[in-house]
Each structure stands twice: as structure tokens, then as C-alpha cells.
A and B are shown apart, each in its own frame.
Chain A
Amino acid sequence: MNRFLLALLLLASGGNAPAAYAPWPKEAIDSFSRIPVLSEGRIKPLQIVAYYTLLELNGRTSLKTRIGGETAKLSASEWLMDAVFRPELSKDYPIFLVDDTAAVGSIGIDRAGKKKRDRFTYNELLPGRSQLANLAAGYAQKKSREEKLTALEEQILILGSKVNDYEMLVSSFSAAQPSRLINTAMLPPDMTTLAAKMNLSEFLGIAPKLPVEGIEAMMGQDRSQMSEDQRSVLTAMMLVYFFHKTGTALTLFPPADDARKEWISMGELIGNAIGKEKTERSWELERLGLVEKVAQSTSDPAAFASSMEALRSKIQEDANTRKEASQIGTEIKLYNGKYLDNAKVWFIAAFVFVVLIWLGPMSTPGKVFTMLAIWCGVLGFGSLVTGMMLRSQIRGWAPITNLYETFLFISAATFVFGLVFERSNQQRIALSAGIFVPMVCLILSGQFLLISPEDTLPPLVAVLRSNFWLTTHVITVTLGYAAGLLAAVTASIWIIARFFRVAEDRRDVYRDMTKMTYGIILFSLLFSLVGTVLGGIWANYSWGRFWGWDPKENGALMIVLWTLVILHARLGGYIRDIGLHAMAVLQGVIISFSWFGVNAMGVGLHSYGFIAGIWKALGIAWAIMAVILTMAAGLKFREPQSPARSEAANLPRTRGATAI
């Protein structure tokens, strides 16, 4: 069909064409984003809940969708606002990312036109909803019996969990807008009819006291023995019960009782209200009323924005009274400032200049590109450190408390190390490595979130709640990782350059590179050794033993041992330049295993760092390193060295006292 005919058809359909996307007022988005909420053990802005939920469902932190023939790009907060306050519209957003669409086929949904890995809307999945729930429940049971699931079963289980999480999140506000239920098929027709015209505040204003247990007892009675009025009351009470049970995903309201730590969800609010005498419900009704005002003003932008702000202010005020939620603004600043994303962009830009440097390192353009690379790196470093400081401020703990934060810290540390070594070496090698490693680490940090789409600022487990040990052991041992990785990269550059005969006549450059790599290895040893022993001492204070052969401990030990192997083999003259660099690359393999591999094993005491699905990424990294090691072997075969020719001959030798 040509475009003209299509346009005519669209004109003819007239009023049926879907309207373009109507964005929410900026003030409303801002207020909604800043609403404090207690989630996963800590108080955070609602924007963060939206961010990680969308990441979990959709594999992205924003959403692109076609509405009314136009493409709308929605932030996580806007998506959640749509999901909650415009469920009919948002049910057509393609937010459910399915890695293998066969999972969707197995619940009877047509997959025509979809790729193997694709996204589905809620409405597309709705016809198979009950089958999905049944299958997912069965597979969850199977998993709980420690039986292995097939890849397809795993996908169905994940999809079931995603749909369930979505429904629960959207239902968090349903009590304030009963007419906007996410899935009316969940309720019998009489309840759906009642929900369409019900105002819960009004109902709770007149309804008699009936605790939740009382409603449950009522629900167990024989309806056929009830009068019409009794049945109406029962239907209304069942609706209250429904909202009580389904509105639990978001705990929005700080309780008046200071002794109580848990906040109150909309569901609990409703349950509490109906369990009290109607004269004693003012606290609950005030808060329910504020949410209802928001829900009722969705078609009036100004009223919507002001009612949203009123809701936010009330929750923040309640939280302030309890001396809670003081870091909401800081966290919004962290996410909206995009410090970590910006750092990634700056380091990518710096790396582009690094590539350009190598077209002529010592030429005038090369010097300009060097300055540009350094400045981009400095800006990236500044942005990264700002982000890390904000994260530290939000939690009140040292900057490394989990695996995600090691990416950030190692990025910052390798850049600094790179600059320090570049200053003494000035061959652009340390600079290149010091920009390459942070760039890769920051890209990987984004990939890590896709593998593990969870809040990166979770509450600290009891054993980690010590700033002394976090700043001594964790930072020291991570600095050891950073230096070791930097050495692996400079060694890789050396091997690749030698293999491809780059500047073959510049033996002095290669000699300097060898010296530098050796220096970085020494640096790595100092931090790894001290950090590992400090970890043992911490373990001695926390768990009662210095060393327990736990996988994470062993990983750190392997780094120390291998560094010592390099140094002693070098001191004994068993390895020279090629051997030194090859062993430094192997050091990179060991560091990556210790950094991630042991966490993916799923055994040991360091359960706060467990991750799954990292083996593929590690496999790629190790394959690259294997290629580099093969090059080193080829180099050894091609260039059998005499000690006199070796650049490493200038390093400390075996006579008498030697460097450790």
C-alpha cells in the first residue's frame, strides 16, 4: 500500500486515530520522582524504584514507545506515572523484555512478527496471564526443590515474576483510584462494577469497624443466605480487602509511631482504617485523600502538579519528623546529574584521543591529542569521583561496599595510577592503559546492572558495617586489583606491539615499558599483600579466624602469590621481558577470576557479592588474554633472547639484596 492511500485511510478513520502522547507537567514529574519510599530496606526516592523496576522489566532505564503515530521517550518516572495513573495507555507499552520468545509461545501467545529476543506489552501477554501464573508457580516450586530448570522454564519463571512485579507495583495506588484497575479479570463482575464508581475515602468515612479478619470471616459465609443489602456490604468489604491485599508493593507512608521501623503501604493503610472506629480514621483518611486527589486530577495538569506536590510534601514532612529520608535530594542529584554516565562518555572520548595519539605519539598533533585525552580523562575522573562521593554521602559508608562499586573505584584508581606512571615514563603507554581500563570498567558497570538489575545502594549486611575495615581492607585490596589490571594492560600493549613489530627499532621504548610494568607489579604487590592480610585480620575480628579458605579470600591470596611468583622468577633470572609481560597478563586473568569468578561460584561467606551470569563475560575476557599469551609464545619462538639483548636486563638482578 502506498503512503498516499495509507494517509487517506487514516484521514477517513478520523476520530479513531489514537491521540499523541500528552506529557505530564514537569513539576508533577519532579514531585513524583522525589516522593520518599521505603523499599528493600532503605528509604529512597520513588524515581529509583521506577528506575530499577523498568531496568528489570525492560532491560533499559528509559522507554521508547509509539503513541498516536509518534515516538515518545519516557523516563523511568514518567513510565511509572503512566503505569499507575494511565494504566489503559501504559498497558500497550512494550516493556516486558523476553530473552527467548518461545516462553511467550508456551503460554499460548502469538509470536508472529517478533524476534527471538523481543519486548511485549501487558495487553499482548494478558490472554496468557493465568497460564503464565500457573506455569511460573510450578517452576518456582521445582526450583525450591533444587531441581534444575530448563532454559525455557527459567524464561517462563522470569517472565511470570516480571508480570507479577509489574501488577503489584501498579496496584500500589489502586485503592485511591478503584476505577483504574490493571486487570479487571482478577475480580468478579459485581466487584468490578462497584470499583468503577467507588470512592474509598467516602466509603471509609461511613463504613463500620471491621478488622481484616472479620472481612475474611464474612467472605467465608454463604452468600445465598444473605439479603441484597448484606451482599452489597460484602461486595464493598471484599473490594476493601482486595485493595488491602494488593496494595502492598510500595511502602509510602512513614508511621506516626516512632518505634515502628517499617513504613505503611496503601494496602496496610486501608486495612488499618477499616479495622478502626470511623471516628479514629483521620490519619489514614488524610493520606488516602491526598493520593485520591492526585488520581482525580490527571486530566488537569496544574491541579495534578499541585496535588502531587502536596502528597510529596506530606510524606517528606512525616519522614522529617522521624529524622528519616534526609538524603532524597542527594540521591536525585546523583541520578539526574548522570555523573557515572558522563564519566563513561568522557573516558570514551579520552580513548578516542588515545587512538589518535598513536598515529604519531611525539608529533605536534600527537601532543595535542595527548592533552585532550588527559583533559577528557580528568573530566571523566571528576565526574566519577563526584558520583562516588554522592553515593558515599547517601549511605554514610566508604565508597566500596559491593561489587558494583568496585567497578567505579577501580576506574578512578587506574586513571590516577596511569597518570602517575605516565609522568615518569612519558611514552603514552601508561596514559593509554589508564584511560582504557576505566573506560572498559565503566562500560562493564552498565552491563553488570543488566545482569543484576538491583539497587546498587542496598543496605549493608551486619558484618560490613565498619567504616574502619571498609576503608582499610576493601580499599587497599581494590587498589591492588587496579594496579594489577593496569600492569596486565601495559603488558598486553607491549606484547601486541612487539608481535606486530611496531617501532621495532625503538628498543629504549620497550625497555622503559618493561620497567614501568615491573614498577606497577610492585605497586600491586604492596596493596594486594597488605589488603589481603588486613582482610584476614578483619575476619579474625568478625568470624573468629584469620583465614578460612573462603573463595574470596583465596582469590585475593592467588593475586598475592602470583605477584610473588613474577618477582621471584624475575629476580632468579628465570623470566626476562617476554616472560615478565606474559605473567603480568596471566595476573590479569587471576584478578578477573578473583574479582568476579569467585562471586559467580555461589559458595562461601561473601554472599553479599554473589552474581550469576558473569561467566560469559569472563570467558570473552579470558579468550582475549589467551590470544595475547599466544602472541607472547610466538614472540618467544620468533625472538629467542640472550640476556644481553633483554630489556629486562636493566631490572634488579639476583645478586645479593634485591627488590622483593
Chain B
Amino acid sequence: MAKSKTPELTLENLPEIGLRVLTSFGLAAAVLALLTLVTLMGTLNQIEEGLIDSTAKYFESAWIVDTVPIGNVTIPVFLPGGYLLLAILFFNILAGTILKIRRNWKAIGLYVSHIGILILIFSSFVTRHFAWEGNMALRPGMQSSEALHYRNWQLEILPIDEKGEANKALVIPYADLETIGWKGERTFTSEELPFEIRISHAARNATPIPVSAPMSAQSDGPVIEGFKLLPLPKEKEAERNSAGFYADFIPKSGGEKIPAILWAHLGGNFAQVKPFTFEVDGKKFAAQVVRERMPIPFTIKLDQFLFEKYAGVMTAKNYQSNITKLEDGTEEKIEVKMNEPFRHRGYTFFQASFGPPNAGPDDELYTVFTVWKNPSDHWPLFSLIVTFVGLLAHMGWKLAEHLRRSTRIA
């Protein structure tokens, strides 16, 4: 695109001016500088608020509205967030690549490297919106075909049959619960249930507390059977938060509402959840707050967990899970190690950790896999290859040109 004089600011010229701004180096430089600043602030914020909250506030947000204490002064901050900045950068690079880079063989490296960066930014978008991350903990001999989310909780309503068993669960997902807040209220209903569920006083981290405890004064929630729900400060490690809220089960037939305090039991990897049980119109139900579940279309069985530590210290040298994949009546033996995950049908199992904590030498260990379902799993690798090839081609061409010029001068 030939360089021409900047058009006057008139209505007709707006599209051209807009395009010039969008493809400009100035926009790229400004966005990159703001991204640097936001990255710095989001990094420092992790000391106070931990990784998850800082990521949400600085990197996954469209706008950052915050205050930053510097000495005794608190400075208000209003900045575009990482999400918005990356989106602008994406379109800046896209438009710049299409319209600004000269169309000849010499510029091929630039095209390719910019396309690589576009793939990278797009893959981060796909991960942000379509990836799911959870974990699966297994003891030797145990098998499972579902993973549990690290941080998200959901409310499950379980109709109980005559045998006292629950065969299905109706779920209120985390996304619907987290936005209610302590002051808010929302009512949920289902044709399959003879009652409505009114949720209020929702907190991401909370615990029930007897009204006799002095700290109960800090909660303005209602008292139910001598207990209140006490909202707690959010933990720095987000997976240690225990969500809680008040629930009223209101019979559609017009009977009296059944109030309850529901909260998540952290209780470790294999903790048994004790649900809240109640009866409406002579039918029994149970309600429980559990981690969000992701069903997996095959089964993983842990055959053996191997742990090796360095002699004389607690530093782990290696840990490995020997598993069997059970699918459609077939079995496959697989080893999952650190740096060697197992991938199958879009799901990836990583050797994340093991437990129990402070296990003795004779204690049976269990394994914990991080389970990911990410459509853009390998895109960063493609992006790297493309970007690297592009940079190499461009710098190689520049070097050849430099050498040619040097030879000519000589």
C-alpha cells in the first residue's frame, strides 16, 4: 500500500481513517505497550490476590477497574484489559498483514511470521472460550470416566426413588450461581421438579457457622436451624474456595418452603459428600454442591502409581501412572509420566500430582491427572513453527542482502 497523505477528518473519510488507524504501527505499539503494563500489573497483583483472580481481573477482562496502592496513596486504575487488547492486536495484525506488507517474495517471511502470531492469538481465544480443565484422582485399582473441575462448583438436585437411590441429577451450573452474589437472588425451575429453587446470599467462599459463635455477627444472612452462612475472603489458591449459598425449595403445589444452607465440602480428592435431603409432595430429593463434572467417553483405570524421590530429600525425581484405557470392550495399557501426557479423542491426561500429602513410606499413594479438553491443544506448536520459519526466512533474506551489499562495496 503506497503511503499517502493523511485524509482530512470528514464523515466520508472516516472508513479510510479508521483503516489507517487499525493498520498503523502506532496502534500496534500502543497496544503492545499497554499489554506490557497490564502483564506487569497482573503479575504483581498475584502476590495479593493469587493467580486465578488476577488472571480474571487483568488478562481475561475487557476493562480493568481497580485501585493500586503506592505507599499510603491509592491510585484508581482504569485500563483496557488483556482480552480487549489481544482482540485489538489480532485485528491490527490481520489488517496490517493484508493491507500493509508489500506483496513480493522479499516480504514472504513477514507474512508467514505474522500469520504465526495470528494463529497464537486465535488459539488463546479458543482456549479461553472452549477449553475445559479438571482433574481425576484415582487410587490403584480404581476407575473413572469423569473429571472434576478444579474450581467450579455446581448444585445438583437428585430425585430419590423408592429404593433410596438417585439415578439422575438435575444441575444448576456454576455460571448461573456465581453471578447471584450475596445481595442477589434468583429462582430456578424445571418441569421435572415439583418445586422451585430460590438461591440467595451466594458466596464463592463461605462456611456455615453456629449463631452462638462470635463471628456469626459478621454475616447478615438468615438463621436456619441455629446456623448462618458466613462469607469468607477469597483464598489466593482458588481451588481452596468453598462455595456456599442459601436455597429455598418452594413447592409448586403451594406448600411451605424448605430453607437450607448449602455449601461445598472441600474434603480432599475422595471425600464423600453428604447431601441435604428433603421431601416435597411425598417425594424425596437430595441437594448437593459438588465440583463441576465432565463426562469422558472412555474409562481410565489406575493399575499402578510409581513414585521415585531423590535419596535423603523429599524432592520428587519422577512419578508415573500405569493406566488401562477401557473403551468399547477393548483395553489398552498406557504410561503417563511427567512431560509425557496421554492424549485420546481430544482429551489429554497429564501427570499432575499425587497424594496423600505427608504420606509415609508404606502408605498407598493415589495419582491425580489434570484433564484437559482443548480444541486448540496443538495450535501453539503450529504457530511457533510458522512464526519461526517466517522470522528465519525474513532474517535470512536480510542477511543475504547485507552480504550482497558488502561484497558490492568491496
**Chain B proximity of A254: nearest CB distance (Å):** 10
Chain A residue contacts of B110, Cβ below 8 A: 657-658, 660
With most chain A CB atoms within 10 A of its CB, the pick from B100, B114, B339 is B339
* CB of A256 to closest CB in B, whole Å: 15
Chain B residue contacts of A561, Cβ below 8 A? 32-33, 35-36, 39
Known: A469-B339, A601-B46. A572 touches B25 (CB 8 A): yes
Residues in chain B near residue A660, CB distance under 8 A: 110, 113-114, 391, 394
Please indicate which of the listed interface residues B29, B120, B236, B388 has the most CB atoms of chain A within 10 Å of its own CB. B29
Q: Are B350 and A41 in contact (CB under 8 A)?
A: no
CA distance A534 to B388 in the complex (A): 11
The answer to whether A657 and B106 have CB atoms under 8 Å apart is yes
Kindly identify which residue among A469, A543, A545, A572 contacts B26, using a CB–CB cutoff of 8 Å.
Answer: A572
Q: Which of B192-200, B263-271, B291-299, B314-322 contacts A (4 or more CB under 8 A)?
A: B314-322
User: Does any Cβ of B come within 8 Å of A188's Cβ?
Assistant: no
**What's the minimum C-beta distance from A188 to chain B, rounded to whole angstroms?**
32
Q: Which of B51-59, B138-146, B183-191 is near enough to bind chain A? A: B51-59
A543: B residues at CB distance < 8 A:
350, 352, 370
Q: Is B104 an interface residue (CB 8 A)?
A: yes
**Are A462 and B398 touching (Cβ within 8 A)?**
no
- CB-nearest residue of chain A to B33: A565
Q: Does B395 contact A (CB under 8 A)?
A: yes
Distance A542 CA – B106 CA, assembled complex (angstroms): 38
Say whether B36 contacts A562, CB under 8 Å.
yes
CB distance A572 to B312 under 8 Å? no
Whether a CB of chain A sits under 8 angstroms from the CB of B372 is yes
The smallest beta-carbon distance between A349 and chain B, in angstroms, is 34
A533 proximal to B (CB < 8 A): yes
In the complex, chain B residues 353-407 whose Cβ is within 8 Å of any chain A Cβ: 370-372, 374, 377, 380-381, 383-384, 387-388, 391, 394-395, 398
**In the complex, are the beta carbons of B42 and A537 less than 8 A apart?**
no
The reply to whether the CB of B217 lies closer than 8 angstroms to some CB of chain A is no
Docked complex Cα distance between A558 and B381 (Å): 20
> Which of B46, B50, B370 is the one whose CB lies under 8 Å from A544?
B370
A1 at interface, CB cutoff 8 A: no
Chain A, residue nearest B388 (CB): A530
Contact of A463 with B338 at beta-carbon distance under 8 Å, contacts A263-B311, A574-B26, A574-B29 already known = yes
Given contacts A38-B312, A462-B316, A565-B32, contact A549 B104 (CB under 8 A): no
Provide the residues of chain A in CB contact with B372, threshold 8 Å.
544-545
Q: Which of B331-357 contact A (CB under 8 A)?
A: 338-341, 348, 350, 352
Q: Which residues of B contact A529 (CB under 8 A)?
A: 387, 391
Query: Are B101 and A657 in contact (CB-based, < 8 A)?
Result: yes
Give the size category of B's interface with A: 35 or more
Cβ of B102 under 8 Å from chain A: yes
| Cβ–Cβ contact B29 & A565, under 8 A | yes
Verify if B78 is at the interface (C-beta below 8 Å from A). Answer: no
Which of these, B24, B39, B236, B381, contacts A554 with CB under 8 Å? B39
> Which of B114, B341, B395 lies in contact with A526, CB distance below 8 A?
B395
**What sequence of 0s and 1s flags, for each residue 552-577 of chain A, a beta carbon within 8 Å of any chain B beta carbon?**
00110110011011001101111000
Compute how far the CA of A486 lies from the CA of B370 in the bound complex, rounded to whole angstroms.
40
Q: How far is the CA of A458 from the CA of B107 in the complex (A)?
A: 47
Given A262-B312, A554-B42, CB of A604 within 8 Å of CB of B318: no
Q: Which residue of A lies closest to B59 (CB)?
A: A549
1/0 per residue, CB under 8 A from A, across B32-50: the answer is 1101100110111011001
Q: Within the assembled complex, what's the spacing in Å between the Cα atoms of A551 and B113?
A: 26
Residues of A within 8 A of B383 (CB): 533
**Whole-angstrom CA separation of A568 from B107 in the bound complex:** 16
Q: Given that A551-B46, A554-B43, A565-B29 are contacting pairs, would A655 and B3 also be in contact in the complex, using a CB cutoff of 8 Å? A: yes
The answer to whether B380 and A546 touch across the interface, beta carbons within 8 angstroms, is yes
Contact with B along A593-626 (1 / 0, CB 8 A): 1000010011110000000000000000000000
**A39 (CB) vs chain B CBs: closest residue:** B312
Please name the residue on chain A nearest to B369 by beta carbon. A544
Taking the closest CB of chain A, its distance from the CB of B389, in whole angstroms, is 11
- A127 — which chain B residues lie within 8 A by C-beta? none
* B46→A657 contact, CB < 8 A: no
Asked whether B315 lies within 8 Å of A544 as measured between CB atoms, the reply is: no
Does chain A have a CB within 8 A of B133? yes
A522 to B109, CA, bound (A): 15
Contacts of A459 in B (CB 8 A): 310, 313, 315, 317
Asked if A549 and B54 sit within 8 Å, CB to CB, the answer is yes
Q: CA A546 – CA B383 in complex, angstroms?
A: 12
- Bound complex: CA A461 to CA B310 (Å): 9
Q: CB-nearest residue of chain B relative to A532? A: B384
CB distance from A13 to the nearest CB of B (A): 49
What's the Cα separation between A42 and B104 when bound, in Å? 58
Distance, CA A463 to CA B340, complexed state (A):
10
Q: Is B123 an interface residue (CB 8 A)?
A: yes
Selected contact of A465 from candidates B54, B59, B317, CB within 8 Å: B317
Q: How far is the CA of A302 from the CA of B356 in the complex (A)?
A: 54
Chain A nearest CB: distance from B66 CB in Å? 16
CB of B43 to closest CB in A, whole Å: 4
Report yes or no: A463 in contact with B29, Cβ–Cβ below 8 A: no
Any A CB within 8 A of the CB of B28: yes
A462 CB to closest chain B CB, in angstroms? 5
Give the complex CA separation of A461 and B100 in angstroms.
Answer: 47
Q: Is the CB of B394 within 8 A of A659?
A: yes
Within 8 A of B (CB), among A516-551: 522, 526, 529-530, 533-534, 536-538, 540-551
Contact digits for B88-106, partner A, Cβ 8 Å, 1 yes 0 no: 0000000000001110101
CA distance A301 to B25 in the complex (A): 77
Report B160 CB to chain A, min CB distance, Å.
37
Asked if A541 contacts B123 (CB within 8 A), the reply is no
Contact A657 B55 (CB under 8 A): no
Per-residue CB contact flags for chain B residues 2-34 toward chain A (1 = under 8 Å, else 0) read 010000000000000000000011101100110
CB-based contact A604/B315 at 8 Å = no
Contact A657 B311 (CB under 8 A): no
Contact with A along B278-303 (1 / 0, CB 8 A): 00000000000000000000000000
B32–A465 CB distance below 8 A: no
B25 close to A557 (CB less than 8 A): no
Asked whether, in the complex, the Cβ of A558 is within 8 Å of the Cβ of B39, the reply is: yes
Measured between beta carbons, the chain B residues less than 8 angstroms from A317 are none
Q: Which residues from B are CB-within-8-Å of A565?
A: 29, 32-33, 36
Q: Indicate if the CB atoms of B25 and A574 lie closer than 8 Å.
A: yes
Is A546 in contact with B127, judged by CB distance below 8 angstroms?
Answer: yes
Q: Is the CB of A462 within 8 A of B313?
A: no
* A656 interface residue per 8 A CB criterion: yes
A101 at interface (Cβ–Cβ under 8 A)?
A: no
* Given contact pairs A41-B311, A657-B104, A659-B398, A568 touches B32 in the complex (Cβ within 8 A): yes
Given A541-B339, A549-B42, residue A568 in contact with residue B29 (CB < 8 A)? yes
A-B contact pairs, 16 of them (CB 8 A): A40-B313, A251-B312, A461-B315, A465-B339, A530-B387, A530-B388, A533-B120, A538-B339, A544-B352, A544-B372, A545-B127, A569-B25, A571-B25, A573-B25, A603-B46, A657-B106
- Known contacts A465-B339, A541-B341, then 5 further A-B pairs from the complex at CB < 8 Å, ordered by chain A residue: A469-B339, A530-B391, A544-B371, A548-B51, A568-B25
Question: 10 closest A-B pairs (Cβ-Cβ)?
Answer: A572-B25, A41-B310, A657-B102, A657-B107, A41-B313, A656-B102, A261-B311, A544-B350, A568-B29, A569-B29
